[in-house]
Structure 1
Amino acid sequence: MNAMRHRCGHRRLQVHKSADVSSYMPEGALGRCVIFVAMLGLAWTVRAEAQIAPNATALIQQANAGNTLAEYRLALDYDQGAQGLPKDPAKAAYWYQMAAAKGYAAAEYNLGVDYDKGLDALPKNPAKAVYWYQMAAAKGYAAAEYNLGGDYVMGLDALPKNPAKAVYWYQMAAAKGYVKAEFNLGVIYEMGLDALPKDPAKAVYWYQMAAAKGYARAEFNLGVDYDKGLDALSKNPAKAVYWYQMAAAKGLARAEYNLGIDYYYGEDGLSKDRAHAVALWKLAAAKNNQSAIAALQTLQHPQQQVATVTTPPPAPPPAPAAVTTSVADNQQTLQNLQRFWTLYFQASNAHVVDFGEPALVRPVGFGGTP
């Protein structure tokens, strides 16, 4: 069972590309995300079933009249198929462009995402993606600042890797309370980034900032820090459990697994509760956490203990028959062999024949008589 005692302690820098799909707030739901160097994916929020709104026609009229906010909201509705309007990527892109042309930061940002990922009928265009991110970031739009930080970390969207600029844009976003930027700063200061040195105190600060907003990954990292005494924090089992519990309550698989370890072995101030440990591991395994899967498999198929049967050792092989040949007999055999080879060469023709071997003129008997 000790094979299960490994704890998860991964630090993952996250470069989220978040699309703003909210009509009112710039903090839209998570759209596109990259986890460290992992693949990019799309995950729009699911809205309630769209109802035909009495103001849809009015919204279109206002947008056609040049109302910037109406243009942006109409783009969102076509993007999501909301307010009784069908999904129409081409119209969404058109109205984003109209609002962006008037300097509306959220529209500029969403155009950046569209060009970044080739969405809303727009082709991928890294240069245009960066342009629109920069336009929105210049207005202090935190999600755009965050995406620029990710581009400089990874060397994406036609931008070279530049750790200093990455930290700059993350700090700009974090100063506005953008939680993913706070978390990434924590990872960067903990692990170091290229030429940027590690700074454990700053890592803890940014983890705490993100954790205070309920960001599960930051809560988990604080749990690991208190569990192992990392990042300038002293070991504190009670705080480790607290932060694991906070992250596990949000469904973070690694926190569920580590908390399961605590319950299984009765560690970090928790009493043994193996049923609770198994329940936590099942939750983590359902999210494809490999450590939890391995722990459950170990429980289902424990190492078989093979019973030790005491059996007598096998009997030694019989000793060979005693050699009774006398020393005199051995000497006689040697003399016979010597005589045989002497007669052999005397009986040869003493010259090399076809195959390079001496040929016998007449056979030689072992007894020594030619």
Structure 2
Amino acid sequence: MSTLAADLIYPLVNGLVRLPLWSSAQARQQLRLKGLAWCACRGHVRAQSQYGHFLYFRGRSSEQRHQGVQFIIAAAQAGDVNSQYQAALLLEQGSDALEMNTAAAIHWYQQAGEQGHVQSVRRLIQIYSKGELGVNVDGQQARYWMAKDQRHELAS
């Protein structure tokens, strides 16, 4: 039931930014963030992605950034391609909220790449062509991802 409620409320929350219900954009943003948090806590994947991104990049404390990472990872695990890419970037770089883990970063790049996420595919080409992130140069993997990149360019 709570997921169904979040599915119904999420579009309303997301639309708050565009509605001139209050004269203050800050009041709309605060209400929107509360709504995103509510939906994210109830498992709404897009809300987890958006709220996690907000907490990680705009959070004022290490605790908020850590919570943001948890929401991003949850959305990535649920198949959200943008969160998979974001998780890969965060794991590749590491921070006060997330320890660097290059093997996990490659995993998330691959998950997003398999769904056609262009930046992930191009990062994987670079990783396997140059032997980055602790992997050996792997021409077969590089060619696999290059083929995916070419298919994307042909489809565009």
TM, length-normalised to structure 2:
0.78
Equivalent residue runs for 1:209-228 within 5 Å:
209-228=74-93
Write the deviation string for residues 263-288 of structure 1: whole angstroms up to 9, x where unpaired: 01111232212353244144235445
| 1:158 pairs with one of 4, 14, 20 | 20
| 2:100 pairs with one of 230, 235, 241 | 235
| 2:56 pairs with one of 173, 190, 210 | 190
Q: Distance in 1 between matches of 2:150 and 2:9?
A: 35
Report the structure, 1 or 2, having the larger helix content.
2
| 1:208 pairs with one of 60, 69, 73 | 73
Matched, 1:168 2:30: no
Higher RCO (CA 8 Å, separation ≥ 6 residues)? 2
Amino acid in the other structure paired with 1:223: A
Matched, 1:248 2:113: yes
Q: Which residue of 2 aligns with 1:258?
A: 123
Instruction: Name the larger-Rg structure.
Output: 1
Please report how far the alpha carbon of residue 212 of structure 1 lies from its aligned counterpart in structure 2 after TM superposition: 2.2
Q: Distance in 1 between matches of 2:143 and 2:21?
A: 46
Q: Distance in 1 between matches of 2:60 and 2:150?
A: 36
Please report how far the alpha carbon of residue 257 of structure 1 lies from its aligned counterpart in structure 2 after TM superposition: 1.3
Is the Cα–Cα contact under 8 Å of residues 149 and 170 in structure 1 kept in the other structure? yes
Percent identity between the aligned chains? 22
Report the structure, 1 or 2, having the larger strand content.
1
Farther off after superposition, 142-151 or 179-188: 142-151
Q: Which residue of 2 aligns with 1:141?
A: 5
Is the Cα–Cα contact under 8 Å of residues 204 and 231 in structure 1 kept in the other structure? no
Q: Distance in 2 between matches of 1:286 and 1:203?
A: 33
Q: Distance in 2 between matches of 1:229 and 1:183?
A: 18
Q: Which residue of 1 aligns with 2:145?
A: 280
Write the deviation string for residues 326-349 of structure 1: whole angstroms up to 9, x where unpaired: xxxxxxxxxxxxxxxxxxxxxxxx
Q: Distance in 2 between matches of 1:146 and 1:231?
A: 30
Is the Cα–Cα contact under 8 Å of residues 226 and 237 in structure 1 kept in the other structure? yes
Write the deviation string for residues 202-234 of structure 1: whole angstroms up to 9, x where unpaired: 111101221221222212111111111136212
Amino acid in the other structure paired with 2:74: M
- Secondary structure of the 1:141 match is helix
Seen in structure 2, the aligned counterparts of structure 1 residues 145 and 231 have a Cα distance that, compared at 3 Å, is: farther
- Secondary structure of the 2:133 match is coil
Q: Distance in 2 between matches of 1:277 and 1:254?
A: 14
Is the Cα–Cα contact under 8 Å of residues 263 and 271 in structure 1 kept in the other structure? yes
Q: Distance in 2 between matches of 1:218 and 1:280?
A: 20
Amino acid in the other structure paired with 2:42: K
How many residue pairs align between the two structures?
Answer: 145
Q: Which residue of 2 aligns with 1:104?
A: none
Q: Distance in 1 between matches of 2:136 and 2:21?
A: 52
Seen in structure 2, the aligned counterparts of structure 1 residues 157 and 245 have a Cα distance that, compared at 3 Å, is: same
Over aligned residues, Cα RMSD in angstroms?
2.4
Q: Distance in 1 between matches of 2:87 and 2:128?
A: 19
Q: Distance in 2 between matches of 1:267 and 1:248?
A: 17
Q: Distance in 2 between matches of 1:253 and 1:223?
A: 13
Equivalent residue runs for 1:1-370 within 5 Å:
141-152=5-16, 155-159=17-21, 161=25, 162-192=28-58, 197=60, 199-230=64-95, 232-284=97-149, 286-287=151-152
Q: Distance in 1 between matches of 2:137 and 2:84?
A: 23
Is the Cα–Cα contact under 8 Å of residues 256 and 280 in structure 1 kept in the other structure? yes
Please report how far the alpha carbon of residue 176 of structure 1 lies from its aligned counterpart in structure 2 after TM superposition: 2.5
Q: Distance in 1 between matches of 2:42 and 2:75?
A: 12
Is the Cα–Cα contact under 8 Å of residues 151 and 159 in structure 1 kept in the other structure? no
